Structure 1
Amino acid sequence: MTLGTWELLSYIITVVALPFAIGVFLYEQRKERENEEEAIWQQISDAYIAFLEVVLANPDLKLRSQPATPDLTDEQRERMWVVFDMLISLFERAYLLVFEAEMDEKKRRRWHSWEDYMREWSRREDFRERLPELLRGEDPDFARYIRCLAEEEVRGGQPLPLR
């Protein structure tokens, strides 16, 4: 091989192979990011299913109804607060891992399912009443977000004006 041949091969690599390799690398990085996001989504979805199993294991608390459960014993009330604490922790984790101000369509669809869960629980009177205590020490942005959702639900789903 002559010096000219080596020089020609180096130009070919620079012009064709290097951009191709960079493209493959970027594609693989994007796929890896998507796989990580999918794994996070699956993990918190599984955690919500596990949470619902706790709800099912406590039918006396009537946690799936919107009105507050009347006439709870101290032990039932304590169990309900623990369930609400678990729920807020799960919602905060979902918020911190999934929510972004600017989301693509796929992320937005995923986030809306979490927002639906938050809205559903925010319609429950005793959950809403307990929110200030439940949110003490939680992420401030998350706390603002779920308070806003709860206020909207009290107003019948009407969004609040931007502040």
Structure 2
Amino acid sequence: MTLQTWELLSYIVTVVALPFALGVFLFEQRKERENEEEAIWQQISDAYIDFLEVVLANPDLRLRSQAATPDLSDEQRERMWVIFDMLISLFERAYLLVYADDMDAKKRRRWHSWEDYMREWSRREDFRARLPELLRGEDADFARYIRGLAAEEQQQA
């Protein structure tokens, strides 16, 4: 091969193959990021299902109702507070891993399912009453966010 042929081939690589390879690389990076986001969402969704199993294992606390459970013993109250602590921890993790101000449509759909869970629990009187204590030491942005949801839900009650 001559020097001119090598130069022509290097120009072809520079003009065609290099941008193509860069495009493939960026596409693969985006796909990998989407897969990681999907895995994160699946993990925290599985954690919420595990949490609901804890709720089911404690039927005496009547955690699925919106009204506060009356006349709890000290032991029941302690179990309820631990369960609320678990829930706040899960909500904070979801907020930190999934929430962003500038979400695309897919991320926003995922986030709305978490917001629905937060709203549902914020309708519960004793959960709302316990929020100030539950949020002590939690992420400030998350605390502000869930307090806002709880205030909205209390106004609608």
How does the TM-score come out when normalised to structure 2? 0.99
Distance, in Å, in 2 between the alignment partners of 1:47 and 1:148 is: 24
Query: Alignment partner of 1:155: what SS?
Result: helix
Residue 161 of structure 1: aligned partner: none
Q: Render the CA deviation track for 1:93-126: whole Å, top value 9, x for unaligned.
A: 0000000001000000000000000000000000
Residue 93 of structure 2: aligned partner: 93
Distance, in Å, in 1 between the alignment partners of 2:154 and 2:125 is: 9
Residue 151 of structure 2: aligned partner: 151
The letter of the residue matching 1:91 is F
The letter of the residue matching 2:117 is Y
Distance, in Å, in 2 between the alignment partners of 1:128 and 1:119 is: 10
Aligned length: 157
Residue 137 of structure 1: aligned partner: 137
The letter of the residue matching 1:149 is L
Runs in 1 of length 4+ with deviation above 6 angstroms?
A: none
The CA RMSD over aligned residues, in Å, is: 0.7
Residue 59 of structure 2: aligned partner: 59
Structure 1 residue runs without a partner (length 5+): 158-163
Structure 2 residue runs without a partner (length 5+): none
Query: Alignment partner of 1:103: what SS?
Result: coil
Query: Alignment partner of 1:136: what SS?
Result: coil
Distance, in Å, in 2 between the alignment partners of 1:84 and 1:154 is: 18
The letter of the residue matching 2:139 is D
Distance, in Å, in 1 between the alignment partners of 2:102 and 2:26 is: 21
Distance, in Å, in 1 between the alignment partners of 2:113 and 2:84 is: 19
Distance, in Å, in 1 between the alignment partners of 2:66 and 2:156 is: 13
The letter of the residue matching 2:120 is E
Distance, in Å, in 1 between the alignment partners of 2:83 and 2:18 is: 55
Q: Render the CA deviation track for 1:27-68: whole Å, top value 9, x for unaligned.
A: 000000000000000000000000000000000000000000
The letter of the residue matching 1:94 is A
Residue 126 of structure 2: aligned partner: 126
> How far is the alpha carbon of 1:155 from its aligned partner?
1.0
Query: Alignment partner of 1:63: what SS?
Result: coil
Residue 160 of structure 1: aligned partner: none
More helix by share: 2
Q: Render the CA deviation track for 1:77-100: whole Å, top value 9, x for unaligned.
A: 000000000000000000000000
How does the TM-score come out when normalised to structure 1? 0.96
Query: Alignment partner of 1:14: what SS?
Result: helix
Give the 5 Å matches for 1:12-27. 12-27=12-27
